[in-house]
Structure 1
Amino acid sequence: MSYLFPTYARWEVEPDMAEGSYIFGKDGKKYLDFTSGIGVCNLGHRPTVVQKAIANQLDRFWHVSNLFIQGEQEKAAELLAKGARMDLVFFANSGAEANEAAIKLARKATGRKKIITFTNSFHGRTFATMSATGQDKIKTGFGPMLETFIYLPFNDLQALKQSIDEDTAAVMLEIVQGEGGIHVGTDEFLHGVQQLCKEYEALFIIDEIQTGIGRTGKPFAFQHFHLSPDIVTSAKGLGNGLPIGAVIGKKELERVFGPGSHGSTFGGNPLSIAAAIATMETIFHEEFCQEVESISQYFLEKLTTSLQVFTEVKEIRNLGLMVGIETSIDLPMLLKELRENDLLALPAGTNVLRLLPPLTVTKAELNKAINILQTVIGKFSKAVV
């Protein structure tokens, strides 16, 4: 009997230890981890630089509350703001909390209620972020959602032109819809959204919970498109495994989030902040991001060459090391077979295999994963091209 609510369809793997790109199971097997804790451990498991930073902070203090000045919070905020080329930061504990704060900030700043998001988006599981999410399966059974969200087709600028108006507080989107199936926004669409937000004085919110902190080969995915959002949210990769989220905003929003307007008991926890500083100081270097872009191109080319022979592989989509393989193979069966062959991967959408290797992955590890994918997909394949 388990004393846990059965909210997760858990795998048969129980980790005993993890290091770099690998999880070592209690079953004695060594798994190549291309989940990275669902896009969290961007530097791999237990990187020395992060582990040392956490250990150093453990010897100082663990928690004091946000009533105190904390120099490390200021340092982390500066790294994050400069990495996004923005101005101000609020620290939370998770991506959902960051998105919740962004929604509050947008409504308070504009005095408006209507927020436009997109079908197949995912923004979290609190009531506001669940309401913002454009997937019915996330909302089933929880009763009426907040009424001020409108959902439009992703990459459909004409639909946005018909829906945005003077009552719109914000347009909120992901550059890459991660949970929705690794769908990348087009340049025309993203710039069109930004322009319409300016015209209607609505705020442009970009959810970078999964795409941020180097995942796509830039500090943030919006930087591939030279966008200038009003609010950006970050979490997952920010603490490389320690819980932390953040809202990053422009200077003009400072007046909105004054004392007492928003808060968090554990937000900006000293241990998580220490991990975030070490993570950002490693990833937010041009050479590091260039290497991510280079190795992601290598991975895409090798994947395409190796898997295009299978008729069951419909399309491979990516931005950096955020990869989706659309397939006609039953996804739960495929994922289980991959685990049995020592490769851990994720689902996305209804029929997309999602690969999120650590940003520190080697070419040898990528090649190993590709060989496993070839073998496993070959078992399910009825024909080759």
Structure 2
Amino acid sequence: MTLTPPVGAQAELTSQYTGSVMNTFGPPKRVFVRGEGVHLWDADGNRYLDLLAGLAVNSLGHAHPQVIGAISAQLSTLGHVSNFFATPTQIALAEKLDALVTANAPGLPARVFFTNSGTEANEAGFKITRRTGRTRLIAMDGSFHGRSLGALALTSNPAYREPFEPLPGDVTFVPYGDEAALAEVLDDTVAAVILEPIQGENGVVEPPAGYLAKVRELTSAVGALLWIDEVQTGIGRCGDWLASSASGVTGDIVTFAKGLGNGFPIGACVATGPAATLLGPGSHGTTFGGNPVGAAAGLAVLGIIERDGLLQRVHEAGERLAASITALGHPRIDHVRGRGLLRGVVLTEPIAPAVADAALAAGFVINAPRPTVVRLAPPLIVPDAELDRFVAALPGLLDSV
């Protein structure tokens, strides 16, 4: 199927967008008006297979009836009360997230601070580290933790950082996956080491086997916190509740967002052990974080993933997808990396943005986080037949650029 560029209603809406919205994202490639399951429709009526899920957000697809039902029921009962008060949904979601984070360490105390996004969750994590009495932080080359000033200080991309310097310090960057480089700069002046189990924005990059366990060992030896950013990799995206749990590691700080609300804005910063008590009354706050509607969305998402056995499904679908792409033997495909349904198709040439554009024209939503990498992060419910349809089209998309 070949789709025409934006015309008609879509072209008019795009013009309105550029005249009214700050130009932080560039002009939109499409204007979408409806979603159902794993499909999207634009303003001109064209249908697309969504293989990006709103950047790993819509884990249960679009317009999931039970998520909609949970949000609607909560909103019609109680929508917002501020954090001077609590709600049963907030408490229930907090208990579930605390249990997920401490699954490898039963009995370890844990507490959550709710936010509206991954960036805000990381801001909360940053403030926790400052309460240790230390100020040094170690982050990873290739990292991405958000765009607010605190989160940006931990993000390695100079193009993102430099226009907004000076940023909160004192942050040292080391090569991702390099134990020796980390050990060389890690001492008892370091408050925390922050890392992603898989670097999504860097092109779906995994560290060597055993790396997370080694980082846990190194941080514990000097009394530094281990801060794991699971904003993109958590809530089943990689086939486990946390991508880091497969390493047997428990973070002192773990941050979530994206897939937790299936499109409803919600994030969370969970702290464990002594770190769980570092923020006290007045040390941090939020107006909307932990509101009962967001909590209802999070509870619904977790319940559906568990009920439908989606963690195992993600393992199987991800392995099948990677094997199918590899089996194409296309000369422009180097290899496929990642876990579960977070996959990077690594190309032999810097043509990934053009491939993403060709895919969009053909009715597939993907993206290119790096010039040589196409990222796939479809809803966790995506049928095999739809993945097969994309794989069958991929050689033609690669050949077209």
Q: TM-score, normalised by structure 1?
A: 0.95
Counterpart in the other structure of 1:371: 392
- Shift, 1:340, TM fit: 0.5
Whether contact under 8 Å (1:83, 1:284) holds in the other structure is no
Whether contact under 8 Å (2:32, 2:40) holds in the other structure is yes
2:64 counterpart of 1:47: yes
Whether contact under 8 Å (1:334, 1:377) holds in the other structure is yes
Counterpart in the other structure of 2:344: 324
Q: Map Cα deviations across residues 288-315 of structure 1 (whole Å, 9 max, x no partner).
A: 2111111111111111112x322x2222
1:305 to 327, 330, 341: 327
Aligned residue for 1:139, secondary structure, equals helix
2:361 to 340, 352, 360: 340
- Shift, 1:25, TM fit: 1.0
2:119 counterpart of 1:96: yes
Whether contact under 8 Å (2:101, 2:250) holds in the other structure is no
Counterpart in the other structure of 2:372: 351
- Shift, 1:2, TM fit: 1.0
2:335 counterpart of 1:315: yes
Counterpart in the other structure of 2:3: none
- Shift, 1:349, TM fit: 2.9
Counterpart in the other structure of 2:91: 74
Counterpart in the other structure of 2:136: 114
Q: Residue 18 and residue 96 in structure 1: after superposition, are their counterparts in 2 closer, same or farther (change >3 A)?
A: same
Counterpart in the other structure of 1:255: 277
2:214 counterpart of 1:192: yes
Counterpart in the other structure of 1:59: 76
Aligned residue for 2:269, secondary structure, equals strand
Aligned residue for 1:140, secondary structure, equals helix
C-alpha separation in 1, matches of 2:308 and 2:241: 9
C-alpha separation in 1, matches of 2:95 and 2:312: 22
- Shift, 1:329, TM fit: 4.2
Q: Map Cα deviations across residues 190-238 of structure 1 (whole Å, 9 max, x no partner).
A: 1111100010000000000000000000001001111121110000001
Q: Comparing 88-97 with 132-141, which one deviates more in the overlay?
A: 132-141
**Aligned structure 1 segments of 4 or more residues deviating by more than 3 angstroms:** none
Whether contact under 8 Å (1:219, 1:283) holds in the other structure is no
Q: Comparing 228-237 with 9-18, which one deviates more in the overlay?
A: 9-18
Structure 2 counterpart of 1:82, one-letter code: A
Whether contact under 8 Å (1:121, 1:133) holds in the other structure is yes
- Shift, 1:134, TM fit: 1.2
- In structure 1, runs of 5+ residues without a counterpart are 381-385
Q: Residue 10 and residue 272 in structure 1: after superposition, are their counterparts in 2 closer, same or farther (change >3 A)?
A: farther
2:243 counterpart of 1:226: no
1:125 to 139, 147, 155: 147
Whether contact under 8 Å (2:270, 2:276) holds in the other structure is no
Aligned-pair Cα RMSD in Å? 1.4
C-alpha separation in 2, matches of 1:292 and 1:323: 12
- In structure 2, runs of 5+ residues without a counterpart are 1-17, 103-107
- Shift, 1:286, TM fit: 8.6
Q: Comparing 322-331 with 164-173, which one deviates more in the overlay?
A: 322-331
- Shift, 1:245, TM fit: 0.6
C-alpha separation in 1, matches of 2:220 and 2:74: 43
Structure 1 counterpart of 2:143, one-letter code: S
Q: Comparing 288-297 with 79-88, which one deviates more in the overlay?
A: 79-88
Counterpart in the other structure of 2:192: 170
Whether contact under 8 Å (1:134, 1:151) holds in the other structure is yes
1:245 to 257, 267, 270: 267
- Shift, 1:146, TM fit: 2.1
Counterpart in the other structure of 2:105: none
* 1:261-300 mapped onto 2 (5 Å cutoff): 261-284=283-306, 287-300=309-322
Aligned length: 377
Q: Residue 254 and residue 143 in structure 1: after superposition, are their counterparts in 2 closer, same or farther (change >3 A)?
A: closer
2:54 counterpart of 1:37: yes
C-alpha separation in 1, matches of 2:311 and 2:377: 16
Q: Comparing 296-305 with 85-94, which one deviates more in the overlay?
A: 85-94
C-alpha separation in 2, matches of 1:120 and 1:240: 26
Q: Map Cα deviations across residues 14-51 of structure 1 (whole Å, 9 max, x no partner).
A: 11210110001112111000110101000111111100
Whether contact under 8 Å (2:353, 2:367) holds in the other structure is no
C-alpha separation in 2, matches of 1:337 and 1:255: 50
- Shift, 1:185, TM fit: 1.9
Aligned residue for 1:206, secondary structure, equals strand
Structure 1 counterpart of 2:95, one-letter code: E
